[in-house]
Amino acid sequence: MAIIGQDIKQAAALLKNGEVVAIPTETVYGLAANALDSEAVKLIFTTKERPMTNPLIIHLPSLEAVQDYVTEFPPLAKKLAAVFCPGPLTMVLPKKEIVPDLVTAGLPNVAVRIPNHQLTLELLQTLGFPLAAPSANPFGYISPTTAQHVAKQLGDKIPYILDGGLCQKGLESTIVNFQNDKVIVYRLGAISLEELAEVVGADNLILDNLKLEKPLSPGMLPYHYSPHTSLFLTDDLENDILSFNKEKIGIITLSKVFQNIPKKHQIQLSLNDDLANAGHLLYQAMHQLDALSLEAIFVEKMPDEGIGKTMNDRLKRAAYKR
Ligand code: TXA
Ligand code: MG
């Protein structure tokens, strides 16, 4: 069973030894290994049971370090990085030779990010090599936002989980690419479109990930982020739960309370309707209800703005029936 702790030295020793360690970030926990060691990177894929055609993000301690791994850093990227790094911004840029093909699934671009979490920044500084890290969940399952979530899903497969508490953002990073002086958004994330637009202008933003049926970024599969319990995303919760046994369903709402459903089966994400706070707690709520062996989980559709857009994107994928 994995040790859960805050010992950066122990985590570093394991990583230097080619092992896989779970690390906290401000978005979700990552399953990390030395990005420059293909054998170590391979372990990430086998531990997660993730197809090797799905590329990984590399995590770096500073913006300065990015130059060692990419051949281009366009002006728009600089502009975004100045505002959002360290933070939940992942930039897909042309890679240098030093980045193993296994990390990028053979693509000419590499995804880079500087996570904004004190423990992990310290770890990255002591290591001297970048960490390749996908979210620390088994492929297709909900991403973890606590060390305990990681332990429950992958604890018997990894030696160490660096415990950084509950993730501050609770949703994955926003992934962008740059083409012809435009920002292409591959994945909605913890930075909202509105926040990106404030920096680069709405006219320079192209969103290209919403078509569930046509994934653009490899790995942006229509089904993903799913609990084991069947999940339904609804904009008419009252009506959609009518035919269900109220004792056997779970519900997640922004702030609505339901009198006829057991208290422990319902989670209000933010009683004052604060979407950022709701995003921070969404995955934790899904993990919590998924552990109760209910017949179904109903989630109220979030307002289609700001972080609400990201939450709806994840919930659509979580609700996707194969
Ligand atoms: O917040 C996050 O981004 C977390 C934390 C741990 O940093 N990581 C994360 O990684 O969500 P993952 O592997 O679960 O999702 C990364 C996404 C995948 O959909 C992958 O296809 C895409 O990034 N990606 C990675 N490298 C890419 C590349 N070179 N080109 C296009 N998409 C890429
Ligand atoms: Mg993931």
pLDDT band at 221 (very low <50, low <70, confident <90, very high): low
Is the CB of residue 210 below 6 angstroms from any atom belonging to ligand 1?
Answer: no
Compute, in angstroms, the gap from residue 219 CA to the centroid of ligand 2. Answer: 8
Q: Supply 49's token pair.
A: 């049971």
Nearest ligand 1 atom, CA 115: 7
Ligand (nearest to CA of 55): 1
- Read off the DSSP letter of residue 248: S
pLDDT of the residue at 213 = 45
- Contacts of residue 64, defined as CB under 8 A and 6 or more positions apart, other chains included, come to none
Is the CB of residue 28 below 6 angstroms from any atom belonging to ligand 1?
Answer: yes
pLDDT of the residue at 223 = 67
Which stretch of 66-70, 82-86, 134-138, 206-210 has the lowest confidence by average pLDDT? 206-210
Q: How far, in Å, are 16, 23, 63, 158, 184 from residue 81 at the CA level?
A: 28, 22, 8, 32, 15
Which stretch of 30-39, 89-98, 178-187, 211-220 has the lowest confidence by average pLDDT? 211-220
**What is the C-alpha to C-alpha distance for residues 71 and 319, in angstroms, rounded to an integer?**
39
Mean pLDDT for 154-168 is: 98
Of the candidate CATH numbers 3.20.20.70, 3.40.50.800, 1.20.1250.20, 3.90.870.10, the domain formed by 3-207 belongs to 3.90.870.10
Ligand (nearest to CA of 164): 1
Which has more confidence, 131 or 212?
Answer: 131
Bridge pairing between strands 174-179 and 182-187: antiparallel
**What is the C-alpha to C-alpha distance for residues 226 and 216, in angstroms, rounded to an integer?**
20
Q: How far, in Å, are 102, 258, 279 from residue 192 at the CA level?
A: 30, 30, 11
Write down the domain spans for the chain: 3-207, 231-319
Nearest ligand 1 atom, CA 133: 6
Domain 231-319 of CATH type 3.40.50.11030: yes
Q: What is the pTM of this model?
A: 0.96
Nearest ligand 1 atom, CA 104: 29
- Is the confidence at residue 167, as pLDDT, over 60? yes
Mean pLDDT for 128-145 is: 96
| Rg from Cα positions in the chain | 19
In the block, tokens 């006829």 appear at 260
- Read off the DSSP letter of residue 221: -
Ligand (nearest to CA of 216): 1
Which has more confidence, 221 or 190?
Answer: 190
pLDDT of the residue at 320 = 83
The 10s digit of each residue's pLDDT in 268-304 is 999 999 999 999 999 999 999 999 999 999 999 999 9
Compute, in angstroms, the gap from residue 248 CA to the centroid of ligand 1. Answer: 35
Is the CB of residue 113 below 6 angstroms from any atom belonging to ligand 1?
Answer: yes
Nearest ligand 1 atom, CA 137: 14
Domains 3-207 and 231-319 are alike in CATH topology? no
Q: Is 39 exposed, middle or buried (0-12, 13-18, 19+ CB in 10 A)?
A: exposed
pLDDT of the residue at 175 = 96
Is the CB of residue 229 below 6 angstroms from any atom belonging to ligand 1?
Answer: no
Bridge partners (DSSP) of residue 131 are 34, 59
Compute, in angstroms, the gap from residue 282 CA to the centroid of ligand 2. Answer: 15
pLDDT of the residue at 225 = 83
- Read off the DSSP letter of residue 270: -
Compute, in angstroms, the gap from residue 140 CA to the centroid of ligand 1. Answer: 13
